[in-house]
Amino acid sequence: MKVILSLIIMLAMIHPASAIGIGVSPAEIDIYDGLKGYEYTKSLTIFNTGPETTTFSLDASGDIEDWISFYQGDNASIDSVTIEGQSRTNVVIRFILPEDAANGNYSGTVLVQSIPNELDSEDSGSAMAIGASASVNIEVTGEQILGGVVNAIHVDDSEPGYSAQIRTIFKNTGNVVAKPIIKVSILSNGDLISTFVHDESGIAPLASGTILVNWDTTISTIPGDYSAKIDIFLGDELLRSEVIDFKILSVGSLSRQGELTDILIQGEKAPGNLLKVRAYFQNTGDIEADAKFKAEIFRDDVLIDMIESDELTVEKTEKIVLESYFKPVEEGEYLIKGQVIFGGKETPIMDIPLSVEDKAVPGFGVVSLMIAMMVLLLLRRRT
């Protein structure tokens, strides 16, 4: 009988753990012809396949552990990342190859591991961590290779007062950052009306990217047919020269379209905590647009607050995040009704429910421990 009671007490003291799942992609990160003293970046996607928000630590081991740092969103390095349940996030891995590294091959591992919840640890007396890893292979060489290929050039039609966008699709085939020099001449009826040079966009080694250059028209720019003569250099080498026709159309000719794809809320959803509201917007129209997120916040069907983001210019096809903030003052069920205002239009309203509750409540494991101690005291008094 005592054995059975002991088992019951032990089971009562166990805090039920939620399933935690993790995955990373890619599983292997390779850098070839790495140049000493140079910086290289790679992107790692981390998947939280479990149902709950989990924090994961970021670390590295092996030959390259001192060459690595992790970043997300700004220039401050991070050593952990928090991901909502059934979600994923991207982390930038920055590799700085030492000046004194010998030529050769180096290997290591990027480690991503769940950090046990403090309440879980306190309630159960133990915690389980799971992890995933990506292997890293770096070839270090002393030779600087500058090379690149222009895969395509596009010039978009525009309207007076808006930018005519020139898009260069460039692949860096070298082992150092490539900054192509893009020289543009704008012509109307064969007459030169504007020239400018863009040389500030860098493409990482072995990466592909789109370099955007804008010809800023004015409201007095005359609608009609135009040409852009584009010469692209890398160093002293001319990679491509092309003349592309485009049009400046009358105001209102190009469509203004956009889509509010999602609204995510970041932060601990408890009274008094400042929450970040992130609205994801894509410009699906044919011209740039200024976009701003606005939302009404309801509690028990009563309007209690209004929030809005800063206004940002969104290029054609570009996806951006519009951020605003909200601080709930009490527990309850909230409803965020948000939309994006852009180019004189607005997206359909998106409803996002928000549950706010006070997290400072004893966990199941603590309550179970108290019950178990009371049972033991009762048994001792009877014996």
Say if residue 214's pLDDT is above 50.
yes
**Is residue 70 in a domain?**
yes
Q: What is the pLDDT of residues 90-131, one digit of tens each?
A: 999 999 998 888 889 999 999 999 988 655 544 444 456 788
**134 lies in the same domain as 37:** yes
In this prediction, residue 379 has a pLDDT band, given cuts at 50, 70 and 90, of low
**128 lies in the same domain as 35:** yes
State which of 190, 225, 248 marks the end of a domain: 248
Q: Looking at residue 36, what is its pLDDT?
A: 85
Which secondary structure element, helix H or strand E, spans residue 12, and what is its range?
A: helix 2-12
Say if residue 14's pLDDT is above 50.
no
Question: How large is the average pLDDT for residues 56-75?
Answer: 90
**263 lies in the same domain as 209:** no
Question: How large is the average pLDDT for residues 309-329?
Answer: 94
**275 lies in the same domain as 241:** no
Domain count, the chain: 3
State which of 100, 115, 141 marks the end of a domain: 141
Say if residue 26's pLDDT is above 50.
yes
> What residue numbers bound the domain in which 329 lies?
258-356
Q: Looking at residue 78, what is its pLDDT?
A: 93
**331 lies in the same domain as 242:** no
**25 lies in the same domain as 71:** yes
**266 lies in the same domain as 309:** yes
Q: Looking at residue 289, what is its pLDDT?
A: 92
Hey, what's the torsion of the CAs at 214, 215, 221, 227, to 10 degrees? -120
The residues pairing with 225 across neighbouring beta strands, listed in sequence order, are 247
CB 234 within 8 A of CB 148: yes
Rounded CA separation 294/34 (Å): 46
Min mean pLDDT across 28-32, 33-37, 144-148, 379-383 is at: 379-383
CATH of the domain at 313: 2.60.40.10
Q: Looking at residue 378, what is its pLDDT?
A: 63
pTM comes to 0.58
**Is residue 27 in a domain?**
yes
Rounded CA separation 337/104 (Å): 57
Q: What angle do CA 228, 342, 347 make, to 5 degrees?
A: 125
Say if residue 369's pLDDT is above 80.
no
State which of 223, 248, 273 marks the end of a domain: 248
